[in-house]
Every structure is written in C-alpha cells, then in structure tokens.
A and B are shown apart, each in its own frame.
Chain A
Amino acid sequence: MIAWCAAGDPTIPGYLQPALVLEYGRAADADDAALLRDTGLADALDPAALVSASQLLRLLANTLRALDSRDTSFMLGQQLLPGHDGAASHALVQAPTLRVLLETLCRWHARLTPLLRPRLETWDGVALLYWVDSHGAPGLRPALVEMHMTAVVALCRWLGGERLPWRFCFNRAAPRHVEQHHVHLGSDLRFDCQLDAMLIDAAWLDRPWPRGNGVAAGLAQAAAAAEPARPPGLPAALYDYLLERVRAAPTLERTALDFGVSPATLKRQLLRHHTHFQAELDQVRTHVALWLFQARRLDNEAAAAYLGFHDAANFRRSFKRWTGITPGPLRLALDAAL
C-alpha cells in the first residue's frame, strides 16, 4: 500500500517550517492575530506539537497578505534550507556535490520541503529539478515555487561558494515583480512554460564542493534513513504513483485500492486538495510528453504510442487540452528554453 498523508493530518513539527514562517512575520512587525487567523494554531506555537500542511499553508498565506511585500516568498526561501530537521538537514549541509545535495533533497522532501515536492531528472548533459504540489495549494503555487527555488539556489550558492548558472522555467505569465527573480534566482528566466523547473548543465552535478564531506553526508543519510519516514502529501504520492504507471492507463478505482481507500474517499480527498484524479493524470502525462519530446526526441507518433494513445491525432488533441497549445509550437519553445 502507498504511504501518504492528507493535508489536514498533523505531520510537520512546529519548530521547523511553521516556526520559520511565523518568526519571519513577527520580525516584520506583523501581529500574531493577523498571522494566525484561521490556522487553529495558538499564539505561543508549541515547538514540539505537530502542525498540519493546511495549517502551514494558511499561515503562509496570512504572512504573505499581512506583509504585502514582493520579497516575502524569496526571503522565506533564503532561510528554508538546510532547515533544522536533524539528520536530513545535516545530510544537505555535508553534501559533497550538487548531485548528492539534490538527491538528498528529493529523498527527504517530505521533511525538508513539505509543501512542494522536488523531482530530479537528468539526460544528455542537462539536469532538471522540477516542483510538483505536495498538498494542493493552487492559490499559493507561484509563491511556493519562488520560495523553494530560492531555497535551492541560496543553499547551492552557500555550499558551492559561487553562484551556479541555473536556468528557470515558470508555469505562469511574467510577473510584475521580476526584479526579485533577477536578484534572488538569476537572470535566465522563462515564463509561460508548462512546468516550474530549474535547469543546469550536468557538468555542475559532480564538481566537488569546498565544504562538502562525503563520509559525513553518508552517515547523516544513514541516520535520516533510520528515522521513521514521514509520508508525502496525497498529490505528491499520487504523482509518483501515476508517473510509474503512466503507460498502463491508471484508473481511479485501481489507484484507490493501492492507496488503501475506497474510490469515493479518494475522490473526496482529492477534492479537499483542490484537484481531481483526471487533472493529476493529465498533469503527469503532460510532463512525460515534455520529457519524451525533449530527452528522447520522440515525434508525436512515437509519444502517442508510448503513452498508449491510438494515434498521433488523438494524442495531439489531448495534448492541446492539457496545455492549451499543440506539441509543435511547444517543441520549438522547449528547444529555445532548454
């Protein structure tokens, strides 16, 4: 059975990300009443108590609104990693190379970045780190992406001792506050892409870092692995599940069985996470199609066959429905971007 947790389950220790957000808001003179409104959290946030992802999301939304400043998400990102989560955070700090760092981050994403799930893909000399929802927060998605990308960029810059030449794609239109992206992320930005991703030349993955310590990183990873695992959020778990079975036409019923709930419960839970099964499946298929175009250089015909479509025309129509554009122009845009 697949391990997962609902956004309403208390899974995040209060002294980690919730304390970070609350302290940031307080340091900027926002009052507790505004920050904690509708979160169900007490004024004196108990550091040992567990907070649910939806409470954390609400706290974050309140903070963004109360501070009303363009750099809030970026400044929070600056402080998000490595975090204070014992062995997992320690493994990040000790990472000897970018590759180890990103793999550590992806492995313990439920602890290190509980709100967005990073995934790493590499092919043909390119490494791509992209972000999918962990708990379903469509309204906060742009801020979350800014926050998490800044976190990775800042951590790599700190550990690597230099600014890495990341390139960025955003699944949104160009915002007015692009200057924050320039300074906190970098100047190679592309908007209106189909996914939120950061790319870097794979040559950077294995350059040794000055502070890194492979042995210590290994020990910290082993210690983190020995600790009880924290389950990922439902959308993140579902994404992983669907990605693995994307060629086998997964259905809601079969998925519910594997997740240990009834189809009706799964439907209801997904609704609570502001999504539904078909939307998640379409998202996964979009991402796989992008990967097929870009990494495997497949044409429509072959991509359609890979994803189990009858013919290329069918696939083309579906793709247009998922993304709003047909594969042809998208391919050109991808070639320019990647």
Chain B
Amino acid sequence: MTPLRTVRGEPFRPVRVSSTCHTPALPSAVVFRYRTAMPAFVRPFLVLACALAAFAALYASAGIPKPFASWHWMDIVDEGGTALMALVWCLIVLASRPDGRVTRLLAGGLACITLGSWADCLDEFWRIDKDALWDNALEGLVPLGMLVLTAGLTYWRREQALLADHLRKRERLFRSHRPFDRVTQLADADYLREQLRRTQGAVVLLDIDGFHRINREHGRAEGDRVLQAVAHMLLLNLRNDDLLCRYAGDRFAVLMPGFGADAAAEAARHLCAMVGAMRHHAGGRRVALGLRHDCAPTGDAPEILLADLCRRMDAA
C-alpha cells in the first residue's frame, strides 16, 4: 500500500505495513522497509548513557561530596526514579516508531527530562555552589524537555488524525485492537460480522473470477498482488461511510450503511465495472480481472446472512 506521509513529509509506518507485508503492493520504489542489523534505538541509547556518565563525572569533579548521613533518601528515589522512568519511556518510543520528526521530538523531550532529573539527583550526592549557573542550567532541562515533549505530542496528534482519515473506509466508526489482514490491510470477517450487527444498510459480496487460476499459473505472490490491486480499486470507488473487508480468500465484502438492496446492487455493478476495466499485468502479460457480486439487505443474524450470500454466490 502507499506509504502514508505525516505532516511534514516524514515517512510514517502504518501499523504493520512495511515491516511485515511480504509482497509489495505497488512498484517496489514506494515500498520501504525499516530493517537494519542494529535496532534503531541502540545508538541514541549509547549517547544518552554517555551523557549520564559525563554528568556524574562533572558533578564529582566540581562538587564537594556530601556526608552519607545528610543524604535525603526521599529526594534521591524521587529524582532518580523520574530519570530512570523517563529513560525507559524514551527507549520505548525509539524502539516502537520509525525515525522522523515526531519520534525525535518525543524521544528528545524524554531525554531532556531524563538528563535534567539526573542532574537534580546528582545534586543530592555532591554539594554545588548555589550561584553556579551550569548547575541551574542543567536542572532547567526538565521544563525544556516538557516543552519539547508537548510539541512532539501535538505533531503526533496531527499524524494520528491523518492516519485515521486514511483508515476510515477500512474500519468505520468502531476501532478495536484487531489484526488487519496481512495481504490487503483490510479488516477481516470477524470485524464485518461485528459491524453487521450494528448497521442498517446492505452488504455486497464480491468474488474475483478465476482467481485460483491466477494463483496456479502465476504463483501465490502474484495472486496477493491481484488482491491488493483489487482492494485499492474498490477503496477508491467507495463512499466514506462504506466499509471494505476481505471476507476470506478472493472474496471481499462491502458494508454500505443506509443503502437499500437496489442502490447496493447498482453500486456493486459499478465496482465490478471498475475492476473489469483495470489493466493488471503479471510478469509482462496482461491478466484480465473480473468480479462477480451478490448483495443483500442487513437485518438477519450476520452468520446466516453471510452463509446465505455465499450459497447464492456459489450457485451463480
């Protein structure tokens, strides 16, 4: 699928697309993978660790050690704990997101908070002259980090809005943590049944003609490419309210809220015509694509409705 772009043109990795999608949906130039030998967060982590050590060395050389008896344990746990947790959050952000502006702002903000709290914590072990500017500056990293983090979260929110917009046709009103179909990135039959229970409208099933032959003659990878191409074409021809699912195999389902059987049949014919007009090429050879369709109004229990539709598809 097309890589989404975030606000400032930063490549964004949608949930699973680039790392697990095993066949490029579009020409390989636009499919990109984030795979390096070393996890992306190792280098920032080393830099941060060096900075923490340097801070400790700085305090040890410039300050006078406080006697053990005058250590404030509560402060040490409090400030040290803040530094430690901010460090962990920073690493989680780095490990779970691709590099880019949002990631850098989030991780940078958390790194600043880590360093500021660490400086604050080192204060408890070494006495520093109250007038030393550098000490205050280092502790000032905490509010600075909070500002940077806030900026990062603002951009992140805009990125989410963009992504949600893109996903709307694929998932409609209700989101749950469910796996996308790995080939087409569409919702699966479970999600369709879930949506059927709460929607008034019509459901259309679409079957690719002779799909098994494409798989036999051109291989499964080519079959996956056909599924992706057809899914794209269908998505481009749906309303914002419609929901496209991959039912199973080469069968797609479209839930059309608010449509009667006639309107749905008309829309389905249009979808079939659009897919029929596609020019799909497998290894330089043109492969004709066609769809069969059947539709029914919602209302019955989803399992029965879908089983009936499938029976009619098979009989057709």
Contact = CB atoms under 8 A, between A and B. Distances in A.
A180 B182 contact: no
B22 A71 contact: no
A23 B249 CA distance: 19
Contacts of A182: 247-248, 251, 306-307, 310
Given A158-B212, A163-B314, A27 B220 contact: yes
Contacts of A183: 247-251, 310
A127 B182 CA distance: 37
A187 B249 contact: no
A184 B189 CA distance: 14
Given A27-B221, A78-B215, A154-B212, A176 B249 contact: no
A37 to B, nearest CB: 20
A255 B98 CA distance: 64
Given A29-B20, A29-B22, A177 B189 contact: yes
Contacts of B78: none
B190 interface: yes
B212 A179 contact: no
A278 interface: no
Nearest to A28: B22
B220 A179 contact: no
B274 to A, nearest CB: 22
A79 interface: yes
B213 A158 contact: yes
A330 interface: no
Contacts of B220: 27, 75, 78-79
B248 A184 contact: yes
A71 B248 contact: yes
Interface string B236-270: 00000000000111110000000000000000000
Contacts of B212: 78, 154, 157-158
Contacts of A177: 189, 248
B177 interface: no
A176 B188 CA distance: 12
Contacts of A27: 22, 220-221
B248 A180 contact: yes
A108 interface: no
Interface in A63-84: 68-71, 74-75, 78-79
Interface residues of A, number: 26
A142 interface: no
Contacts of A74: 248-249
Interface string A24-42: 0001110000000000000
A180 B215 CA distance: 17
A27 to B, nearest CB: 6
Nearest to B215: A78
Contacts of A157: 212
Interface string B278-309: 00000000000000000000000001001100
Interface in A166-190: 176-180, 182-184, 186-188
Contacts of A158: 212-213, 216
Nearest to B217: A158
Interface string B201-232: 00000000000110110001100000000000
B249 A71 contact: yes
B178 interface: no
Contacts of A176: 190
Contact of B303 (A69, A78, A178): A178
B4 to A, nearest CB: 20
B70 to A, nearest CB: 54
B130 interface: no
A186 B307 CA distance: 10
Contacts of A187: 307, 310-311, 313-314
Interface string A180-215: 101110111000000000000000000000000000
Given A158-B212, A158-B213, A69 B182 contact: yes
B189 A179 contact: yes
Contacts of B310: 182-183, 187
A179 B20 CA distance: 24
Contacts of A180: 248-249
A165 to B, nearest CB: 8
B309 to A, nearest CB: 9
B227 to A, nearest CB: 12
Contacts of B20: 29
A176 B179 CA distance: 15
A87 B310 CA distance: 37
Given A28-B22, A178-B303, A186 B248 contact: no
A94 to B, nearest CB: 16
A163 B207 CA distance: 13
A157 B190 CA distance: 27
A78 B306 CA distance: 23
A153 to B, nearest CB: 10
A74 B215 CA distance: 13
Contact of A186 (B247, B250, B314): B314
Interface in B1-35: 20, 22
A28 B213 contact: no
Given A29-B22, A188-B311, 19 more contacts: A28-B182, A70-B248, A71-B249, A78-B212, A78-B215, A78-B220, A176-B190, A177-B189, A178-B307, A179-B189, A179-B251, A182-B248, A182-B251, A182-B306, A182-B310, A183-B247, A183-B250, A186-B314, A187-B310
29 contacts: A27-B221, A28-B182, A29-B22, A69-B179, A69-B182, A71-B248, A78-B212, A78-B215, A157-B212, A158-B213, A177-B189, A178-B307, A179-B247, A179-B251, A180-B248, A182-B248, A182-B307, A182-B310, A183-B247, A183-B248, A183-B249, A183-B251, A183-B310, A184-B248, A184-B249, A186-B314, A187-B307, A187-B310, A187-B311
What 5 A-B pairs come out closest when comparing CB atoms? A183-B249, A179-B189, A187-B311, A183-B248, A182-B310
